[in-house]
Amino acid sequence: MKFQATLACMEVFLKGQSYDLWSVVEKGDHKVTLDEGKPDYSEQGKEKLSLKARARNILYCAISRKEFNHVSSCNSTKEIQDKLLLTYEDTDKVKETKFDILIAKYEKFKMISGESISEMYGRLTDITNV
């Protein structure tokens, strides 16, 4: 969930800078090739390469060092986005499941017969400190 919100913010930011920047992240890097016999890229090719570099730079600046270590080997901004989504998709699902389990435990929480107040409090503390 948290990463989804971060991704939505990145989308708005990138579109605000240039709609093409978000397109590079969402659809993947533009293909750029050298024309035969020419030593350098065309102006259009240079612009596409610049968009790729700008999008990648913005993504790198938006993530933590730990996240950067996970995606630094990616070759495209689309690959970076996909890897981050995959990484956080499972984490959010696990957190939501754990949260649902804790709520269920809390709602079913009752004093067990023969249990002392301190034992009951210990069980409650175990639920709330997870």
Within-domain flag for 125: no
Quote the pLDDT of residue 7: 74
Q: Is residue 44 part of a domain?
A: yes
In a domain, 36, yes or no: yes
Angle between helices 77-107 and 43-62 (to 10 degrees): 30
| Predicted pLDDT at 114 | 94
H helices of the chain, in order, are 2-17, 19-27, 43-62, 65-71, 77-107, 117-128
Quick check: 81 and 59 in contact, CB under 8 A? yes
**pLDDT for the residue 40:** 74
Residue 54 maps to a domain:
yes
Q: Is residue 58 situated within a structural domain? A: yes
Taking residues 49-71, report their average pLDDT.
86
pLDDT tens per residue across span 75-114: 888 898 888 887 776 667 777 887 888 899 999 999 999 9
Instruction: Please tell me whether residue 80 adopts helix, strand or coil conformation.
Output: helix
Domain count, the chain: 1
**pLDDT higher at 36 or 95:** 95
- Give the separation between CA 78 and CA 82, rounded to whole angstroms: 6
Tokens encoding 124: 């409650």
Is pLDDT larger for residue 38 or for residue 54? 54
Give backbone dihedrals phi and psi of 115, rounded to 5 degrees, phi first: -90, 140
Q: Tell me what the mean pLDDT of segment 29-58 comes to.
A: 78
Whether residue 120 lies inside any domain: the answer is no
In a domain, 109, yes or no: no
Residue 22 lies in a domain: yes
Residue pLDDT, tens place only, 14-24: 888 888 888 88
Range of the domain at 8: 2-96
Quote the CA–CA distance of 105 and 118 in Å, as a whole number: 18
